[in-house]
Amino acid sequence: MRRAATLCGIILILAFGASAQNRSGSSLFLGSQFPVLAAAVPSPSPEAFAAAAPEPIPPPAEPQGIYGVVQNFNFQVYGGFTYMHFYELPGTTGNLDGFNVSAAYYPHGGHLGLDGEFVATFAPQNGVSTTLDAGMGGARFRVWNHHGGELWAHALVGAAHFVPQTPYGTENALAIEAGGGLDVAPRNGRLGYRVEADVLGTYFFGTYQYSPKISVGLVYKF
C-alpha cells in the first residue's frame, strides 16, 4: 500500500514537470520569433518612400501666341464711289461722280504687283449728260504694317472715253493715272476699307487735262 502511494506521487511529480517545461518552451518560442522577424525586415526610411514614389507630371504648357505676323494675300478686288474734278478746258471745270473698280495681283505675295482699273463718272453739263470713262493697267507697289493696314502706290496707262463728242476732237484719248491709297482691314481680315487719291491725265479737245479724283469703298483680299 505504501509502495502504491509512493508510485502515484512520483507519476504526479513527473507529469507536473513535463507540463511546466512545455509552457516554458512555448513562451521562449513566442518571445524569440518576433524580434528576429523585426530585425530581418527593417522599416523603410522617408528617403526610400521619396525615391519609390513616381514623379509628378507637370501640367501642359499654355500655347504661346504668335505676334507680328500678317498674312499677305496675292489677289485684291475693289469697288467704290469716285469723285473727280475734271479740268475740261482752260477756265472750264466740272465735277463728276461715279464708281471705280479695280483688281490687283501680287506674284508670290510680294511688294510689286499688277494693277488694272476701270472708272466711270457722270455729270450734267449745259443740259447734256456728260460721261468720262477710263480703263487702265500698270504696276502697283505696296508696303504693309502689323495693324491690318496696307499703304500702296500705282502708275497706270490706258484709254479714256468722253461723251458727248465735241467739234474739238474725238471721244477717245490717252489716259495716264498716278496716285495711291490706304487699305484698312479690321482684325487683319480679308474684307477691308480703301481710301484712294489719284490724278488722271487725259488729252481731249486739243489740250491736256490733269484731273484729281478720290475714291472710297470696299476691298476684298484672297
Instruction: Check if the beta carbon of residue 103 is closer than 8 Å to that of residue 75.
Output: yes
Residues constituting the chain? 222
C-alpha span between 164 and 121 (Å, rounded): 13
Provide φ and ψ at 65, rounded to 5°: -75, 155
Flag whether the pTM goes above 0.85.
no
Q: Is the dihedral of CA 183, 189, 190, 192 positive or negative?
A: negative
**What Å distances lie between residue 189 and 63, 86, 169, 184, 220, CA to CA?**
22, 35, 47, 9, 9
C-alpha span between 176 and 211 (Å, rounded): 11
- Block residue for cell numbers 521562449: 28
C-alpha span between 74 and 142 (Å, rounded): 12
Instruction: Check if the beta carbon of residue 99 is closer than 8 Å to that of residue 131.
Output: no
Give the per-residue pLDDT at 28: 38
Instruction: Single out the residue of 193, 196, 161, 158 nearest to residue 175, CA to CA.
Output: 158
CB neighbours of residue 159 within 10 Å: 13
Give the per-residue pLDDT at 148: 79
Give the per-residue pLDDT at 124: 85
**Across the 222 residues of the chain, what is the mean pLDDT of every consecutive 10-residue run?**
57 55 44 46 57 64 55 89 92 92 94 97 85 97 84 98 82 96 88 97 92 97 91
The model's pLDDT over 127-184, given as tens digits with 9 standing for 90+, comes to 788 999 999 999 999 988 777 789 999 999 999 999 987 777 789 999 999 999 999 9
Give the per-residue pLDDT at 34: 44
Give the per-residue pLDDT at 189: 83
C-alpha span between 207 and 186 (Å, rounded): 44
Residue type, 154: H
